[in-house]
Structure 1
């Protein structure tokens, strides 16, 4: 399995996994245009409605193309400032929520490291259509292990680096997030760290995804949850205006 991604793979994934939103949005737009036309409302109102829907449907795709296809997210160059020495990283854990695009890339970046991959997807709780569709096309890293969010099957202080890449927000309950992140802290060595990448519920993501930004959590929510999970050093750095990299140390 190669780690190279196809051109525009990120935005095509977003469009494919969330196609139900686009179908519904298009049908609503057609319905509104029909109503406005039949009522003979002013053309200005018609173009306003078309503009609003076009913005809501197109902007998320443009932002997703920027973040996932053109920003270098999958090149992992953004990671280097957070890692002092790649050679010192012996054991890595990468945890996903049922869709894994990063484990093979991480292995390429850390060829001498031991990598364990865990998937906390729960079909009873994680029922969003986008996740279900993503799981059908994802490539599973060898020996990926299914886990629950309250138990990572590793010894205390056994891991140098834990990756949570656009995954932790799928845990919707704050209490469950705290339990999960406490487990992540437990398996980290004294000098180990967690690298968590997330969209935030903030102004840039509201402008990008409109009401869809509620699928994410605020910076305050993440920091409060991380502090309650026992982390004492939490650093947040923006990677593009739309994503944040949280580095968490014991």
Structure 2
């Protein structure tokens, strides 16, 4: 009777400790892992209704214009956690509600596009590829796309148990990027639990 309860409690505690490490102790929100370039005139930060980074990006890139887009569609993106987060965190000022496959931005206009811990909310493969094709369209030829995600791998399984199934594998992301016309120029890990793929139109796939 007590063993299942102990296992569940232990799993929850481990997940909370890992989250504390990732988000509060690792320097994740310092955004030092986001490169500042003198050519960064227009930044686009895209979320799924849970936005903890736009204010930080605005402070970091003071000389750049920041556009914030929210692709959350309650009829398509049905995760309960996102609905709770949207109630707890108000959107960044002037956030625009958009469709992932119809971003209201000109082609070749963005110097840097950031999709931080949100792209995995697009559960349909075709929809996700369509979304990244839009990112490729909007991105300048010398621009960068930052995609930061948990992966469906051993570290995240140990941290989140079956919750790691909500994430995608590295190979799934690489296939998505290739299908959308984007390539990985760099891949980094701030912690064993989070990966950042830096994409461009002319990089070398990993």
Is the TM value for this pair above 0.5?
yes
Structure with the higher strand share, 1 or 2: 2
Which of 34, 39, 43 in structure 2 is aligned with 1:92? Answer: 43
Q: TM-score, normalised by structure 1?
A: 0.78
Q: Deviations over 1:37-93 (max 9, x none)?
A: xxxxxxxxx4x434422222111111100001111111101223xx4x2x3200000
In 1, distance between residues paired with 2:14 and 2:76? 29
Q: Deviations over 1:74-116 (max 9, x none)?
A: 1101223xx4x2x320000000001111101000000010110
| Higher RCO (Cα < 8 Å, 6 or more apart) | 2
Structure with the higher helix share, 1 or 2: 1
In 2, distance between residues paired with 1:63 and 1:191? 36
Question: Rg bigger for which structure?
Answer: 1
Unaligned runs of 5+ in 1: 1-32, 34-45
- Structure 1 runs of 4+ aligned residues shifted over 2 Å read 48-51, 232-235
Instruction: Give the aligned partner of residue 14 of structure 1.
Output: none
Which of 65, 74, 79 in structure 1 is aligned with 2:20? Answer: 65
Instruction: Give the aligned partner of residue 4 of structure 2.
Output: 49
Q: TM-score, normalised by structure 2?
A: 0.94
Contact 2:49 2:82 in 1 (8 A): yes
- What is the SS of the residue equivalent to 2:188? strand
Contact 1:116 1:144 in 2 (8 A): yes
1:1-250 → structure 2 map (5 Å cutoff): 33=1, 46=2, 48-80=3-35, 83=36, 85=37, 87-250=38-201
In 2, distance between residues paired with 1:216 and 1:116? 26
CA RMSD of aligned residues (A): 1.2
Unaligned runs of 5+ in 2: 202-206
